[in-house]
Amino acid sequence: MRFVKYINALLLFMADGMAIVSAIVMAYESREILIGVNDIPLNRYIFFFPFYLPLLLFVYEGLYRYRFDFWQEFKIILYTLFLSLLLVLSYLAITKTVDNFSRYIVVMSFIFMALIIPLQKRIVKRFLFWLGLWKKEAKLLGRDDRLQKSVFNNYYVGYVKSKDNSDTLFIDSKAFSLSFLQVKLREEICKHHEIYFIPTVEDFNLAQSQIFEYFNNSSNLVLLTNRLQSKKNMVLKNVVDRGSAFTIFIITLPLVGLLVVMKKIFEPDIPLFFRQKRLGKDGKVFYILKFQTMYNNSEEILEQFLQNNPRYKIYWQTYKKLPNDPRVTRFGKFLRRFSLDELPQLINVLRGEMSLVGPRPYLEHELDDFDVDKEIILSVKPGITGLWQVLGRNALSFERRVAIDRWYVYNWSLWMDFVIIIKTFKAIMDKKTS
């Protein structure tokens, strides 16, 4: 097994090196297409050692040693590429050799690396998993179905259930008492090469925390911060939200115009927009904007439907939604299928009432369904999309949605918003989450 481990590391290292070469070639050829003939030969770039600095940083960050989830590894890759670019530009400036290379090719090489390396890693790891080289046996102590899926249904990390003994063990700390867990850890650390255990505190992303070592006391302290309570972070998020919303609004303006025309043609008797009171930051009520997707007598239709189909009453009370909702018009179903009905909410973002990413915009009467999470969730602006949407959308219960929103607020970062936006497009196209 150790031999396979080193083979995997070597293959991934070589694949990253080939990706860097491909990025350099693409940058070189793109300059020739866009600007003109290159007066510097390609081999000077390919054999320029600082271009391969990311490989050393990948080794330092443990990319060939640990099995990161894709999004965490993607974040590390972008960080190391940005740092490498700064170091390369600094090297060229200090050595006064900047004129020996095209600045366009240098910068574009790293941009292409940021696109190619994550993509090729997905392809290479899937191929190695298919071959069986990337598979690594592991055991899991606990009964959390979500944890089971995260560990064993993810080719990118490559873990498979062990039939016998294995070097890797996952422990779900929430499934055991603290005293039992301490004894179990002491027992298992003698049997396994590596142990991963899930913290009992599940509302906080410890990957973003700072861990301090108190040597004399043989203990650790974990620093947790509420990032969205920082004025600097709130200003940063607001600037990114409004800037992005304005850009998207301008880009989608022709599409919005087309949808308006189509709606007037197919549903002339139904209002164009739907305005509804929702809870904003600090519980302030605002009117959320959407394209109208329901019939004018939607409340009567709902009441009649629940009377005729009592089995759906529990579903409605649990999820606050209905499968194949009879209140939604035919054209409204099309809009909802691709979340096009939410495009007018960009106006809410530009007004400062919503964020692009945030907790779900809750209704006033849903305040009664909150437990102790009302204050934390209403401390930030609601979002057009959010973590709740990419983790299940309609398939989540109200309580689960609240828990996910709470986790988002506690652990916010710009990177998380970026990942959520990318995953939102996937969730929209995924029929299973519609």
Distance CA(219)–CA(201), nearest Å, equals: 17
CA-based nearest residue to 118, from 74, 173, 62: 74
* pLDDT in the model for residue 214: 84
Kindly give the pairing relationship between strand 219-223 and strand 210-214: antiparallel
* pLDDT in the model for residue 434: 43
* pLDDT in the model for residue 431: 52
* pLDDT in the model for residue 87: 95
* pLDDT in the model for residue 208: 79
* pLDDT in the model for residue 432: 46
**The pTM is what?**
0.83
* pLDDT in the model for residue 393: 60
Q: Residue 275 phi/psi, 5° resolution?
A: -115, 130
Distance CA(358)–CA(278), nearest Å, equals: 14
* pLDDT in the model for residue 433: 44
* pLDDT in the model for residue 255: 93
Dihedral angle sign, alpha carbons of residues 248, 249, 251, 254: positive
Instruction: Show the CA angle centred on residue 107, arms to residues 106 and 112, nearest 5°.
Output: 100
In the numeric block, the tokens 């709470």 are attached to 406
Those residues of the chain that have pLDDT short of 70 are: 1-2, 319-320, 392-395, 431-434
pLDDT for 298-307, tens place per residue? 888 888 888 8
CA-based nearest residue to 280, from 378, 347, 402, 409: 378
* pLDDT in the model for residue 389: 82
Give residue 326's identity as a one-letter amino acid code: P
